[in-house]
Structure 1
């Protein structure tokens, strides 16, 4: 486990032990993590994404270069869309929001142990699926790139606060985008918006 803060490390240790995980070593930075992985070849590495010395992205690249076969789970206090995608491309198996650590760490461990990835902040709605009808296509093309991203997150059930965290925006800005979406689609709420974009009732989520 790679975490530089002593108090946080204690909390994470407790959570891991509750999940019957064996902790074989602790590191406080990326260099120590590389040495521990080289020595023990653990099944999993749980690592803070905001590391001193070298970045988590650099550590992931070095894991790949050294053919580390285990899974790497990252924790972050700043979940962000671009960072999530960068970590996914580098082979991370999970990205856990520290604000929801107690609830999400067990979920992430279960997902990774079952052979799945855990990226709750990554948009899963494919807006292309909404363009089956001409009216839907016209509406979607009228939206800006940021409005499309907000729409994806809304359709995946994220709250305004969640969207603000993942897009690194203020809650007020997200509320403004949501209001624009309703105005552009001539709808009063999210339920009406979904019905207007998806008149056939086809499922949004994959």
Structure 2
């Protein structure tokens, strides 16, 4: 029986997944947490086989939480679960150490398949995402910019787009303000803009956030 911890801030999602998987003989939802503090507190007491981790979980973002998980609990498999665009975030989360990525719009049976696949030592992305990532970037110009971004650059851009200032970004990501400024300059260059307003509008227009 695969022991699954659901890390998601939405009570309906938590209860829905518990209810859906309750009859399963393959996996068991052993706990639910709504924040990253709750997640790491849970892990001090019990270790699941797999964490279903929401990308936008409160307190620190999902990629930052993922990095800490990989450092402190390398034996735990992590499947990222998000409503954010697959072809933007999947690559970033896989680079950061996730074992798979699935959209919250996916069928529950596919989610079950993904959990089992990841928990048994494999990687998971959807066939559709695999096909999109294989396309020539010239056929999809908006997304090509984001595939150039590093995982850390995506984290910085996400926090800036949420209205956070350099100091807040630095504190959340464990960086200094000068480093955040450097990332901002790189983002502007890679997104082909020359000011913050245009950079954030670009991110919004391309449906990154």
> Same fold, TM exceeding 0.5?
yes
Which residue, 119, 123, 130 being the options, matches 2:130?
Answer: 123
CA spacing shift, 1:23–1:108, aligned 2, 3 Å: same
Q: Is the 8 A contact 2:82 2:104 kept in 1?
A: yes
Q: CA deviation at 1:110?
A: 2.6
State the Cα deviation string for residues 19-72 of structure 1 (Å, max 9, x = none): 332232221011111111232121111121111111110111111221431111
List alignment gaps of at least 5 residues for structure 1. Answer: 128-139, 151-166, 170-206
Which residue, 85, 102, 107 being the options, matches 2:113?
Answer: 107
Q: Which residue of 2 aligns with 1:144?
A: 138
CA spacing shift, 1:19–1:105, aligned 2, 3 Å: farther
SS, match of residue 85 in structure 1: helix
Q: TM-score, normalised by structure 1?
A: 0.58
Mapped partners of 1:148, 1:48: distance in 2: 25
Q: Is the 8 A contact 2:50 2:119 kept in 1?
A: no
Number of corresponding residues: 139
Mapped partners of 1:70, 1:28: distance in 2: 18
Q: Which residue of 1 aligns with 2:22?
A: 17
State the Cα deviation string for residues 150-180 of structure 1 (Å, max 9, x = none): 9xxxxxxxxxxxxxxxx849xxxxxxxxxxx
Q: TM-score, normalised by structure 2?
A: 0.57
CA spacing shift, 1:67–1:110, aligned 2, 3 Å: closer
Q: Which residue of 1 aligns with 2:44?
A: 38
List alignment gaps of at least 5 residues for structure 2. Answer: 1-5, 145-205
